[in-house]
Chains A and B, each alone.
Chain A
């Protein structure tokens, strides 16, 4: 392994934030800012990221950052972008970083408006598949089969029975210049995509899979391991779209059966348990197979 050069600049997302041990989101944010550089204004909705980075008096953000309310990060970002344009400060870029609850659900309308208007904002959704800040309730991003506190696995039902909302496709349908999916398990790829997005203008969207050890329920040292499994089983396809056309896909060297990914996380134990009805696992595998086919992840 070659020697890595010393990091030249102080991080833009410093230590002392209150993320859980092993938080995938915290790791992703540091690298997002490494890729964007310091000439950005960051907007976040309410959520884990906001909560662990803004106890009064203790902020890790070494870029200007604003949290307003839960459902309006895209609109706040649009407002900031409009102000920068009016003040001829457009070399400063606007980046929104928010969770799946805010992006897929409550802020969906606001996001759609921003995309449709063509506002110059890079919106990054750090997707951990539930309302984690409040303990793990189901969101539109919760994957099929996962147990959440509002959709637990019980005797009468077995966790989320709906598919994960395909937000990248929905965003792409707005006709925006750039859509990509990424994973905190592949930091080089993540940064490359952020850098690419920063060279473009107009609304851009990146969705990053950020495993959550606390609520997905796996040991905190396995965050990247779990992230890799998610990608390599096909449930987390990594691709890049320019003007609606897929231009890059991360191919899978080999197809990992979804059970390898699911069995790492207690939120899927009702799917992988030996006495669990087989249809559950089959349904999740089918999701992965569909992704593999759709995005041509193999071969």
Chain B
């Protein structure tokens, strides 16, 4: 009998985490993540979840507590958003470097200043260099499924890195959705106990956190990069395992939506992709050959899937809910790095969209597709990234 309920997105995440039997949870509030840790707190208070729940005094400590717990051999979890995620930056780099696995939910929210609590991807994108694996989800159901997968990915012996499941704040965390839950036995079979080879153990004393000279530093960093790049096959496998378990197939590292014969392919991440899919369907009805490539695993970047999906396309239009100030959107830069200069490859254009929760709707998408087609036909070189639905008149 399937367990299907309508739950708040945050609750779905909390239930996924609970099912993974974490030993240690670190909690610090920040909108729009707080409902997740509050849901977990209620479970712990009622004795439904046996975990050490550490109410830390900052996000820096939240990330640190789960790092220490992981080093001591315990499965651990925390969540944050926006400013809190940035505050964790140093810790995440160090934990990736020390190959300490744990799962963290990155609830997407804009970054100060000015302060704004609506959704964009600037926060998690800012952490893309850390060595933390990043998965982006479109729905509460996917958030539930991917949190289960995240623990398994993090703890895979060939990976051993923190995994961040990124989900849009408010849109996914605070809205209610129909979610199907796995029974505990199925989760236990999917996710065995955490048994790291190295952990803080008095019977076998080891030293963590050495400093490495120039003769080996690059190799240590390369080892992380290699674990991520080669880890893609492991991530694909785990996602496929989830699919057999649940029947839900999100496509793997990317979701290729109607890209088969598409001439214009949009690229997006997170819940925005849902809007884009709807717009794609309408445009398809009008005869336009458009599709969407939704990036699910952003780090490591799915170059192979990207290349396969854009074969035959004329234009790739990336929707970036983030910007690298002074340059372009991060996903656009990643896509261009592999496609630009490729003989016969598509033109890639980048659009900055949805910062501070600015609405990306079907009108926006239609305008993007029009713009993409026009740019392609003009034969001009691709322009600098365009900021969508901007009101330049009020900019001094």
Do A and B share a direct contact in the complex (Cβ within 8 angstroms)?
yes
Task: Answer yes or no: A127 CB below 8 A from chain B CBs.
Answer: no
Interface residues on A, range: 35 or more
The reply to whether B205 and A61 contact each other, CB–CB distance below 8 Å, is: yes
CB contacts (< 8 Å) of A87 on chain B: these are 23, 72-74
Query: Chain B: which residue is nearest A71 at the CB level?
Result: B60
CA distance A59 to B212 in the complex (A): 12
The reply to whether B57 and A116 contact each other, CB–CB distance below 8 Å, is: yes
Task: Answer yes or no: A79 CB below 8 A from chain B CBs.
Answer: yes
Task: Answer yes or no: A161 CB below 8 A from chain B CBs.
Answer: no
CB of A39, distance to nearest CB on chain B (Å)? 5
The reply to whether B24 and A82 contact each other, CB–CB distance below 8 Å, is: yes
Q: Mark A32-54, 1 if CB is under 8 A from B, else 0.
A: 00000011110100000011011
CB of B64, distance to nearest CB on chain A (Å)? 4
Known A54-B211, A56-B210, A72-B64; judge A80-B69 contact (CB<8 A).
yes
The reply to whether B58 and A64 contact each other, CB–CB distance below 8 Å, is: no
The reply to whether B211 and A75 contact each other, CB–CB distance below 8 Å, is: no
CB contacts (< 8 Å) of B189 on chain A: these are none
Q: Mark B40-61, 1 if CB is under 8 A from A, else 0.
A: 0000000000111011111011
The reply to whether A79 and B211 contact each other, CB–CB distance below 8 Å, is: no
Known A56-B213, A83-B74; judge A66-B208 contact (CB<8 A).
yes
Question: Which residue of A39, A68, A77, A87 has the most chain B CB atoms within 10 A of its CB atom?
Answer: A68
The reply to whether A77 and B68 contact each other, CB–CB distance below 8 Å, is: yes
Task: Answer yes or no: B285 CB below 8 A from chain A CBs.
Answer: no
- Which residue of the partner chain, among A51, A61, A79, contacts B69 with CB atoms under 8 Å? A79
Task: Answer yes or no: A65 CB below 8 A from chain B CBs.
Answer: yes
CA distance A65 to B72 in the complex (A): 10
The reply to whether B68 and A117 contact each other, CB–CB distance below 8 Å, is: no
Task: Answer yes or no: B76 CB below 8 A from chain A CBs.
Answer: yes
List which B217-238 residues lie within 8 A (CB) of chain A: none
Tell which of B90-98, B243-251, B253-261, B360-368 binds the partner.
B90-98
CA distance A110 to B64 in the complex (A): 10
The reply to whether A67 and B205 contact each other, CB–CB distance below 8 Å, is: no
Q: Mark B5-27, 1 if CB is under 8 A from A, else 0.
A: 00000000000000000011010
The reply to whether B52 and A82 contact each other, CB–CB distance below 8 Å, is: yes
Known A82-B23, A110-B58; judge A43-B211 contact (CB<8 A).
no
The reply to whether B202 and A63 contact each other, CB–CB distance below 8 Å, is: yes
CB of B56, distance to nearest CB on chain A (Å)? 6
- Which residue of the partner chain, among A41, A50, A79, contacts B202 with CB atoms under 8 Å? A41
The reply to whether B207 and A72 contact each other, CB–CB distance below 8 Å, is: no
The reply to whether B68 and A80 contact each other, CB–CB distance below 8 Å, is: yes
The reply to whether A79 and B76 contact each other, CB–CB distance below 8 Å, is: yes
Known A39-B202, A80-B72; judge A113-B61 contact (CB<8 A).
yes
CA distance A117 to B204 in the complex (A): 30
Q: Is the interface of B mostly helix, strand, loop or mixed?
A: mixed
CB of A129, distance to nearest CB on chain B (Å)? 24
CB contacts (< 8 Å) of A67 on chain B: these are 208-210
CB contacts (< 8 Å) of B73 on chain A: these are 83, 87
Known A78-B68, A82-B24; judge A41-B61 contact (CB<8 A).
no
- Which residue of the partner chain, among B54, B91, B205, contacts A65 with CB atoms under 8 Å? B205
CB of B287, distance to nearest CB on chain A (Å)? 56
Known A50-B209, A112-B57; judge A76-B24 contact (CB<8 A).
no
Task: Answer yes or no: A196 CB below 8 A from chain B CBs.
Answer: no
List which B64-90 residues lie within 8 A (CB) of chain A: 64-74, 76, 90
CA distance A64 to B200 in the complex (A): 5
CB of B66, distance to nearest CB on chain A (Å)? 6
The reply to whether B57 and A113 contact each other, CB–CB distance below 8 Å, is: yes
Task: Answer yes or no: B206 CB below 8 A from chain A CBs.
Answer: yes
Task: Answer yes or no: B201 CB below 8 A from chain A CBs.
Answer: yes
CB of A162, distance to nearest CB on chain B (Å)? 25
Residues of B within 8 A of A (CB): 23-24, 26, 50-52, 54-58, 60-61, 64-74, 76, 90-91, 94-95, 98, 200-202, 204-213, 216
22 intermolecular pairs with C-beta atoms under 8 Å apart: A41-B72, A51-B211, A66-B68, A66-B200, A67-B210, A68-B67, A68-B95, A68-B208, A72-B61, A75-B64, A77-B68, A79-B26, A79-B68, A79-B72, A80-B71, A82-B24, A82-B68, A83-B69, A83-B74, A87-B23, A92-B202, A113-B58
Residues of A within 8 A of B (CB): 38-41, 43, 50-51, 53-57, 59, 61-69, 71-72, 74-80, 82-87, 92, 109-110, 112-113, 116-117, 119
Given A78-B64, A79-B70, 19 more A-B residue pairs with CB atoms under 8 Å apart are A38-B205, A41-B200, A43-B68, A51-B211, A63-B205, A64-B206, A66-B71, A66-B208, A66-B209, A68-B68, A69-B64, A75-B64, A78-B54, A80-B72, A83-B68, A85-B52, A86-B51, A86-B69, A109-B60
